[in-house]
Amino acid sequence: MKVAWVFPGQGSQKIGMAKQIENLPNTKERFSFASEIFDRNLFEICQLNSDSTNPLKDLNNTINTQICLFLVESILLDALKENGYKPTFVAGHSLGEITALYCADVFPFEDCVSLIKVRSELMVNAGKGSMAALIGFDRNQLDLLVNQSDDVVIANDNSSSQVVLSGSSEALNKLSKEISCKRFLKLNVSGAFHSPFMHDPSVKFAEYLKQIEFKNPSFPVISNYKPSFCSDPNELKIRLENQMCNGVRWRETMDLMAKDSDLHIVEIGPSNVLSGLGKRHLKDVKISQVSSSDQITY
């Protein structure tokens, strides 16, 4: 049986998620290291209720969300490795792709922290466009409407029944009135992530990645930009460079993982977002969740 370790991105954060792993090896050390780099108490931020009046301490602020999720995911995956577990291949959703690359030993923990600081700051300062989640729709109608618009793209193709759109507020409002769907929910984000609206931040991020050494992965990585098995460090860097202004192709990622043989998906992180997508989209697939120090097994 193939074992896929998958790592979620923004939207999977939970208040108290650091408390769930505080007794694991490296938790205190890693949170302290990252807190110094980010100049804030990240463990405390994971414990606080959302506070939009003080974004520096708000877990839902992109700058805090991305690093806190990575810390939790990296600590959990390393605990699994120390217990003798390892995947056949890995994949991550948006931010989770960085965790997947770390899991595959492409770059060390310290590089990840610095990389996520740059990435999150670029994204939170993008300042253009918006995003909306779309649930229960006709795919053909959606593709037609998106193709007719210059200012809307599919940012996250999560499954056959759930996508996230990015674009201008005006174009998203227009599409919401034209599409037949169960739910159309505008998201509280600072920009149109995974779309051409992120071109300028993406260029700056690609420039930063030039100084990061990508090593040969310990096992294949499936990237958001191009969902195929990859073990070439240079290609993995190109794919990560292109991720910020292109869509997350998670539906294709799940199809690739499940192709040809039995599959066990293990979601490593504080929530069950990717597990839910897998259960709804795939048939006859085993799915497990690792989210706390009480559950370092599957």
Catalytic annotation, residues: 94, 194
Spatial distance between the Cα atoms of 120 and 202, rounded to a whole number of angstroms: 11
Strand (E) or helix (H) holding 42: helix 42-47
Strand (E) or helix (H) holding 277: helix 273-281
Q: Is 262 exposed, middle or buried (0-12, 13-18, 19+ CB in 10 A)?
A: exposed
Q: Kindly provide the b/e burial profile for residues 136-167, where b requires at least 16 CB atoms within 10 angstroms of the residue's own CB.
A: ebeeeebeebbeebebbbbbbbbbebbbbbbb
Phi/psi of residue 290, nearest 5 degrees:
-120, 110
Q: Report whether 48 contacts 15 (CB < 8 A).
A: yes
Spatial distance between the Cα atoms of 197 and 189, rounded to a whole number of angstroms: 13
CB atoms within 10 A of CB 21: 25
Largest CA distance in the chain: 52
Phi/psi of residue 140, nearest 5 degrees:
-65, -40
